[in-house]
Amino acid sequence: LQRMLSISVEVDKSPNCSSCKIADVIFPFILNIPLRSQREAFLNTMESHLLRCKLLELLFQHSCDVPTTLPLSLSKILYFVSHSSVLLQYQDETATWQRWDEMLQYLSLLLMSYQNVILAFPLAEHLRSSLNDRMDLIIQKAKPKLQDSDDISHLDIQLKIEDFISRMQQILGQPFPLQIMEKLCMLR
């Protein structure tokens, strides 16, 4: 399945467009996956970083009270840090801290996938371009074009993370479980 999804993103002239279409179709099914371990297995084994970004973007947009119209960027990921609520509310048997832990896991996964799409190794730098265009860009050693919303400061990051920690403290109290602290450090 993951290989088929990856190929279906790649065969289109616009991988960005095809990943959006595929993510729109798959997203309702992800919402109905009952166990965290199953959701994580599906997302972690996804071969297409671009498709994973789109699915996680939809998941976080779904969890925001006020969705944003920003394109997928570092600014949008910071927006999710500030405005996302705990994901997948229908799981009543899951402890609150585990829901926050899952949200932090997906934020980190979104950030890593986005970095692979934009900044990582040469073949992944141009994942938003078609396969034919991507080869030309690699041969030309063209640098990927960053968006204006990818230019964020360390202060922006620090303020958003502190706000996020404050929201978690109000709900979870102190001290945080060790898993939460590790994921906060990784996200930061």
What does the block give as tokens for 148?
């204006």
Higher-scoring residue by pLDDT: 1, 30: 30
Most confident of 39-43, 136-140, 172-176: 39-43
Could you tell me if 130 and 15 are in contact, meaning their C-beta atoms sit under 8 angstroms apart? yes
| Average pLDDT score, the chain | 80
Residue 106's pLDDT is what? Answer: 93
Q: What phi-psi label fits residue 84: left (phi over 0), alpha (psi between -120 and 50 degrees) or beta?
A: beta
pLDDT at 41 over 50: yes
- CA-based nearest residue to 105, from 20, 39, 23: 39
Contacts of 183 (CB under 8 A, 6+ apart): 101, 104, 105, 108
Per residue in 49-84, pLDDT (tens digit) is 889 999 999 999 988 888 888 888 888 998 998 888
What does the block give as tokens for 112?
């890593």
Ranges 8-17, 94-103, 116-125, 166-175: which has the least confidence: 116-125
Per residue in 126-136, pLDDT (tens digit) is 455 555 555 56
Task: Residue 41: count other Cβ atoms within 10 Å of its Cβ.
Answer: 12
| CA dist., res. 27 & res. 48, Å (int) | 15
Residue 122's pLDDT is what? Answer: 42
Confidence of residue 138 (pLDDT cuts 50, 70, 90): low
Residue type, 29: F
Count up the domains in the chain and report the number. 1
pTM here?
A: 0.80
Q: Which domain holds residue 183?
A: 1-187
Could you tell me if 124 and 138 are in contact, meaning their C-beta atoms sit under 8 angstroms apart? no
